[in-house]
Amino acid sequence: MKAVEIAKKVASGELTARSVVEQHLENIKNLETEVNAFNIVTTEKALEDADQIDARIASGETLGPLAGVPIAVKDNLCTRGLETTCSSKILEGWKPPYNATVIDKLKRADAILIGKTNCDEFAMGSSTENSAFGPTRNPHNLELVPGGSSGGSAAAVAAGFSPLALGSDTGGSIRQPAALCGVVGVKPTYGRVSRYGLVAFASSLDQIGPFAKTVSDAALTLEIISGYDPRDSTSISENSPEITKVLDEGIEGMRIGVIEELSGKGLDGISEDVLLRVEEATKVFSKAGAIVEPASVPASIYGLSAYYVIAPAEASSNLARYDGIRFGPRTEAATTAETMTATRTKGFGDEVKRRIMLGTYALSAGYYDAYYGKSQKVRTLIMNDFAKAYEKFDILISPTAPTTAFPLGEKTTDPMQMYLQDVCTIPSNLAGHPAMSVPFGLGKDGMPIGVQILAPALAEQNMFRAARVLELGNGEISE
């Protein structure tokens, strides 16, 4: 059942919030040991919150738009009094004294937090295998990855553990697992959603967004969590868009560009199945009255290279605070410096250490201009190329991920192959633009494929209108 429908039925008394939560907890009980989507399931608190909602409805109170709807949130979002680990040993046991802004907004909408989801440690990864608490598995095939880094959130929605989930997207960490798990995943415009209370990975790239089974559920959730927050210096002061009201306006006359550089031309590794789905998507858009043509964003082919300098550099700075003194468990040693070293050596996983070292190197004297400075120039080129493309097109499309879900362990020993999983999603993070993945058919292996829809900054409405058309056209394609 859609989140929107659950909220309406709970508000009308047709369903109780408790029965909704109990059903989702039963789903978790039956499958969670196999999927491992959660680090924490908040069983008792979720039932308590559900009872409170039912009591408020019985007293005639008007509730929020997500009344009684269970939601799972990635374990890098701060939850007051509830452990927040980023799936890392170095934060094990840490309970924040405050909520992330998005958590408070969901509570005001009367959503019910059902658990904290597993992820790649500190959101660094593309498969949710880099977790201190074990890998998450794809609900469609338990031998395959769910994508990452927000794989637990994507898997939770796909498995029916919760109708909605939140993740964070630094280089594709919402959209790529959404594609691999067959759900909707949205990265909003940078600054559209407050990052206050999101444990930082790369501050100029991170953005929080929703997962959902349907485009309409994702739109409602984004409306709720969007908006200006004075506690986030990068927060956009402009009013949040009313997305749900425009969902069914269609795309008649909309100009849609297919990004050549991300759709096979000059980019190796994209499977034929994925390219076929993008081609099918263009037919759906054309049938709906859009003008679909090839588009070029030349500098996007350098996005991966620039990202893996910029993101690790920012991670090197952000993760310096985890020293064994201020957060989590400490590994004692003879001196303060040795204690910090021992704590970080024991507390951080291999991928986090790899990226910290990459970033520290890129920022070091003698290499800053050659690597970090040059990567920022490439970032500007990408922004400029997108700007030129959007002079001609209203939205752009591309594959979300190069392939369908791959086997657990297949890429863990080859970081470069893992990094390539985000080759189509990274450019929009570097530009700060919104993008989303919409499920669109299956590959020959029977696994989901997502088509990515990109839009200029603050143009979420057009993006969602196109997503709705694609969602409606999904049932018309041949599998």
Instruction: Place 266 in a pLDDT band, splitting at 50, 70 and 90.
Output: low
Q: Can you tell me the mean pLDDT for 181-192?
A: 98
Q: What is the pLDDT of residues 218-250, one digit of tens each?
A: 999 999 999 999 999 999 998 888 999 999 999
* Structural domains present in the chain: 1-300+377-479 (3.90.1300.10), 306-368 (no CATH)
Which residues touch 150 (CB under 8 Å, ≥6 apart)? Answer: 74, 117, 119, 123, 128, 165, 167, 168, 169, 173, 174, 177, 185, 211
Report the pLDDT value the prediction gives residue 446, as an integer from 0 to 100.
97
Cβ(400)–Cβ(437) below 8 Å: yes
The catalytic residues are: 74, 149, 173
Question: Where is pLDDT greater, at 416 or 151?
Answer: 151
Rounded Cα distance, 6 and 74, in Å: 22
Backbone angles phi, psi at 258, to 5 degrees: -95, 115
- And the tokens for 79? 């939850």
Encoded tokens for 446: 């029977």
- Strands 395-399 and 448-454: what pairing? antiparallel
pLDDT band at 475 (very low <50, low <70, confident <90, very high): low
- Note the pLDDT of residue 479: 42
When mean pLDDT is compared over 321-330, 388-397, 468-477, the highest value belongs to 388-397
Confidence band for 268, pLDDT divided at 50, 70 and 90: confident
Range 296-323 average pLDDT? 96
What band does 478 get if pLDDT is binned at 50, 70 and 90?
very low
Residues 416-450 pLDDT 10s: 999 999 999 999 999 999 999 999 999 999 999 99
pLDDT for 238? 86
* Crossing angle between the packed helical segments 303-318 and 374-392, to the nearest 10 degrees: 130
CA-wise closest residue to 299 among 451, 175, 427 = 427
* Structure tokens given for 388: 């030129």
What number is the average pLDDT over the span 115-135? Answer: 98
pLDDT tens digits, 360-382: 999 998 899 999 999 999 999 99
How do residues 41-54 score in pLDDT, each as one tens digit? 999 999 999 999 99
- 327-365 per-position pLDDT tens digit: 778 899 999 889 999 999 999 999 999 999 999 999 998
Question: What is the per-residue pLDDT for 476?
Answer: 59
Q: Indicate whether 142 pLDDT > 80.
A: yes
Task: Look at residue 329 in the predicted model and tell me its pLDDT.
Answer: 84
Q: Can you give the pLDDT at residue 35?
A: 98
C-alpha separations of 267 from 79, 80, 303, 308 in Å: 41, 44, 12, 17
Average pLDDT over the chain reads 96
- Interatomic CA distance for residues 20 and 27, integer angstroms: 11
* Alpha carbon distance 271, 325 (integer Å): 47
| pLDDT given at position 477 | 52
Residue range 102-124, pLDDT digits in tens: 999 999 999 999 999 999 999 99
- Summarize the confidence of residues 187-199 as an average pLDDT: 98
Structure tokens at 356: 């910290």
Give dist(CA 196, CA 102) in Å, integer: 8
Cα separation, 435 vs 178, whole angstroms = 12
pLDDT beyond 80 at 460: yes
How far apart CA 405 and CA 448 sit, in angstroms, is: 8
Answer yes or no: are the C-beta atoms of 98 and 107 closer than 8 Å: no
pTM beyond 0.85, yes or no: yes
Q: Give Cα separations from 163 to 158, 252, 414, 426, 469 (angstroms).
A: 9, 31, 34, 27, 21
